[in-house]
Amino acid sequence: MSQPQTKLISVVLAFLVFLSVACSTAHTSSATVASLPAPAATITPQPAAHNDASQVPRVTVEELKKLLADKKALVIDVRSLDAYEISHIKGSISLPLDKIQAGEVKSLPKDKQLITYCSCPAENSSSVAADALAKAGFKNLGVLLGGTIAWEKAGGEMEKGKPGATS
């Protein structure tokens, strides 16, 4: 393996570790983050307990696949636009958590179930987003159990680029 390839792999792994730590520590103090052990050279995602504070039901990958096949759900990627452009669930739209929290949700349909997701296996950001949508008056909500990790592990289709991004 050439040195540029090794360097690229190191950068990608560092980015994945950053995303994993950022997502799993979204609601912890900086002292907790500082006490986290150093990540291993390889990342093996483990199922994590979801955010129990959220009242929004979890939706499994198989349930989401059926909802999508029946055209009964809109999938919302609550990660940053940059993360969305790197890779996202096929057919999903980008509506980052900060925009949802700011109330920028008027364009969302009321006639479909809204399923939020993030890259965190504990659904931290996606459950916060779903709770904010509930407070904004949306009733038919769900959070993808296990996020993108579970989706990809189950063979769910991902795509790259900007289709579905909201403005």
- Give the separation between CA 17 and CA 42, rounded to whole angstroms: 9
Q: What is the reported pLDDT for 16?
A: 47
Q: Tabulate helix, strand, coil % of the chain (nearest 5).
A: 40, 15, 45
What is the pTM assigned to this prediction? 0.68
Give the pLDDT score at 111.
Answer: 84
SS3 category, 8: helix
Q: Which two tokens stand for residue 2?
A: 């050439």
Residue 127: closest CA among 56, 77, 21 = 56
* Both structure tokens of 141: 């909500």
The pLDDT value given to residue 100: 97
* Cβ atoms within 10 Å, residue 94: 22
End-to-end CA separation in angstroms for the chain:
41
**Cα–Cα distance between 59 and 142 in angstroms, integer?**
6
* Distance in angstroms (rounded) separating the CA atoms of residues 76 and 73: 10
Determine the Cα–Cα distance for residues 155 and 167; give it in Å rounded to an integer: 29
For residue 87, the surrounding DSSP H or E stretch is: none
Q: Which amino acid is at 128?
A: V
Note down pLDDT in tens along the chain; length 167 residues: 666 665 656 555 454 444 444 454 344 333 333 444 444 433 333 334 444 567 899 999 999 999 999 999 999 999 999 999 999 999 999 999 999 999 999 999 988 999 999 998 889 999 999 999 999 999 999 999 999 999 999 999 999 877 555 54
Q: For CA atoms 17, 22, 25, 29, give the dihedral sign.
A: positive
